[in-house]
Amino acid sequence: MRRVTGNAAFEIIPLSNVAAAVDALPVGAQVSVTVSATKGQDATLRLAEHLIGRGHPTIPHLSARLMRDRAHVEDVAAWTKANGVTTAFVVGGDATEPGPYPDAVGFLRELFTHDHGLHTVGVAAYPDGHPLIVEGARRHALFAKQDLLAEAGLQGYCSTQMCFDPAKIVAWLTTERHDGLTLPVHLGIPGPVDRTKLLTIGTRLGVGQSLRYLRKNRRSVVKLLRSPTHDPSELLDALAPHLTPLGISGLHLFTFNQVADTAAWRDAALGS
C-alpha cells in the first residue's frame, strides 16, 4: 500500500479555484490535469505549462473529441515535445459534437504519426462501466489501445474511473488480466473530498453503479454521512491483498481541487 500510495498523481481541474489548488500541491508532486468540452483543450495545456514551470511532473489529459483536425493533433504533439511532457493521459472526452476523432483509439493512431516526444501514455478504464459506452465496445477499445501502445513502442498504463466497490474492482481486473490486459493499473480513487460534492457526481462521470453500491452498503454510507468528507482508506484497505497480484501500481487521486486535504491524507498514509 505504501508503494501504491507513494506513486500517486493529484488530479486538478482548470476552474476558477485552481490557483489555490496549485498552491496546495506538495513540492514536486505529480499532477494530472483534466480536460473538458466546457473549458476546452487549450485550458488544460495552459495549466499544464504553469505546473511544469513550478517543477511538477505534469500529465495533461488529451481529449480525442476536442481535436479539430489533423493539423490540431500535430500542434498538440508539437506542444508536448516542446514542453518536455513525457506522459499524457488520453480520453475520448465528453464533447457531444466530436470532430474527426470520436474516440481515443482513432486519436492515438493519428497522434503516433507525429513527433510527440512522449514516453508513456495513460488510457481510461471503467470497472463500473460507462453510461455512454456499451460494454463490448468498452472492452474492445481498452485492448485496442494496449495494442497501439505496443506497436508504437511506448510505455502505458490504464487509470480507472472511480468505483467504490472493491469486489467489483477485483472481479473486473481479474477478468481483464485473464483476457490479456498487461498494462499497469492506476486506481482512480477520490481523496477526502466534500461528501456532498462526491455524492452529486452522478452518472455523468460513469460512477452511477458505484454510487448505488455506496447507498446500499449501510456501513460505508453511514460512515460517509457521519463525516463531512469521504475517507479513501477503507477502499484501499479492502484492496490491499490484491494490489500486487493484479498489477495495481499507483493511484490517480480525484481531488476536485480540494488538494490540501488530499495531500494531508496521502502524507498520513505514507507516515510522513
Q: What is the per-residue pLDDT across 156-200, written as a single tens digit (0 to 9) for each?
A: 999 998 888 899 999 999 999 999 999 999 999 988 877 666 666
3-class SS at 39?
coil
Instruction: Give the position of cell 505529480.
Output: 30
Report the C-alpha gap between 118 and 194 in whole angstroms: 35
Q: Which is nearest to 64 in space by CA: 147, 137, 132, 123?
A: 123
Please check the confidence at residue 131 and state whether its pLDDT lies above 70.
Answer: no
What is the CB neighbour count within 10 angstroms for residue 137? Answer: 12
Report the C-alpha gap between 251 and 242 in whole angstroms: 14
Q: Which three cell numbers stand for residue 72?
A: 490540431
Q: What is the per-residue pLDDT across 227-272, written as a single tens digit (0 to 9) for each?
A: 556 778 888 999 999 999 999 999 999 998 999 999 999 999 998 6
Q: Which three cell numbers stand for residue 101?
A: 476523432
Segment 34-47 shows an average pLDDT of: 93
What is the CB neighbour count within 10 angstroms for residue 15? Answer: 16
3-class SS at 125?
strand
pTM of the model: 0.88
Q: Give CA 210 to chain center in angstroms.
A: 16
Report the C-alpha gap between 85 and 259 in whole angstroms: 22
CATH topology of domain 2-270: TIM Barrel (3.20.20)
